Structure 1
Amino acid sequence: MPTNALANPLVLPILGLVAEQPGHAYALFSELRSRYAYISVRNSTVYTLLNTLVEAGWLHSEPRDTDRQTFQLTSAGRQALAERVEHELRDGALGNRTAFMTALAYLGILTPTEAAAALQSRVDRIHQEEERLASALDEAGSVPELHMIETHYYRDQLNHERSWLDATVRRIRSNTLAWPSRKS
């Protein structure tokens, strides 16, 4: 676990699940394991993080003295979730698919304008990375493709991601992607 528990990569999906629907610790643990098979989730880590999120003021629990605490998102927790989603979509490492996919799952916490801007920023970063990779492949010249196969693979993956994101940004901006109503 990271030194700062709030930096744990499970914080974003926990906040996101509670934003969707308040829940008990075990239900949240089960949903994390079911929905995010690509993330390593341990029961003890989830319980510890839930307590940390309550202490940070991002979650509220009722009742506090039983094993059946129901965790609810606070306004500070909603803000923290939105900031994490926006940061990961806009500035997250391009090769970190796990963090990006988890943030993408909670795109609806942002306004359509914020979401489109964050995704457009990622599109721009991907385009720059594609140009860098193309230049590296050009410089490699006569190096056999097999020796640079991972660069070809990564470039193709980025191209696919950019195409998908471009289409998604267009759908957001044209209001053809349904958006949840905002809860305060």
Structure 2
Amino acid sequence: MPQNAMDNPLVLPMLGLLAESPRQQYALFAELRDRYAFLRVKTSTVYTLVGSLERNGLAALDGEQEVSLTREGIAELRRRVEAHLREADPNADPKFAIALAYLGILPPGDAAALLRERAQALKADARAADEVLRESGVAELHMIEGHFLASRLRHDATWLNRLAGRIESGDLAWP
């Protein structure tokens, strides 16, 4: 468990689900468990994090114990989506995929630009990996994992550019 509750990996999907619609705390837990089972969601953690979101001004509880996002909560969701799309490793950190799930919180032009920026960074990483592999002088078979990872980087860059193009063309429906 992180020292600061706001660093818990459940915060991003909780903010995202609450942006979709306000929910009772148990309904929030159930949806998190169903959609993000790989995060090992526990009831007590969700209830604790709802309290943290409320104390930090990101969520509000009404008399019926329904949780909704505040204006600050929406801004924090946007900030986290942008940060994770920029920084999280698409192949090793679930924060990247979760941030993609809430891409619609951003204006379409911003989302497409951010995806293209990340695609460029991944292409640069792939070129650097290719250079290291070329200069290593080691037989391909003995560095096959490096070739695999470089290929994944190129694939991810292509996929992100394609998604950005769909956003820019209006082919991908936007909320």
Provide the TM-score with structure 2 as the length reference. Answer: 0.94
Maintained 8 Å contact 2:90/2:97: no
Q: Indicate which of 140, 153, 156 corresponds to 1:161.
A: 156
Change (3 A) 1:2 1:175: same
C-alpha deviation, 1:16, in angstroms: 0.3
Maintained 8 Å contact 2:6/2:52: yes
C-alpha deviation, 1:94, in angstroms: 4.4
Between the aligned residues of both structures, percent identity stands at 47
- Whole-Å separation in 2 of the counterparts to 1:56 and 1:177: 34
For the aligned residues, what is the CA RMSD?
A: 1.4
C-alpha deviation, 1:37, in angstroms: 2.6
Between structures 1 and 2, the one with greater helix share: 2
Name 2:171's counterpart in structure 1: 176
- Whole-Å separation in 2 of the counterparts to 1:160 and 1:131: 13
- Whole-Å separation in 2 of the counterparts to 1:59 and 1:163: 37
Q: Runs of 5+ in structure 1 lacking a partner?
A: none
C-alpha deviation, 1:80, in angstroms: 0.2
Equivalent position amino acid for 1:40 in 2? R
- Whole-Å separation in 2 of the counterparts to 1:55 and 1:12: 16
- Whole-Å separation in 2 of the counterparts to 1:94 and 1:137: 21
Per-residue CA shift, 1:55-102, capped at 9, x if unaligned? 101000111xxxx51000100000000010011112323443411100
Per-residue CA shift, 1:135-167, capped at 9, x if unaligned? 1110122x2333322212211221221111111
Query: Number of paired residues?
Result: 175
Moved over 6 A (4+): none
Q: Which moved more, 1:161-170 or 1:86-95?
A: 86-95
Name 1:10's counterpart in structure 2: 10
Maintained 8 Å contact 1:113/1:173: yes
- Whole-Å separation in 2 of the counterparts to 1:136 and 1:43: 46
Maintained 8 Å contact 1:62/1:71: yes
Provide the TM-score with structure 1 as the length reference. Answer: 0.90
Determine helix, strand or coil for the equivalent of 1:38: helix
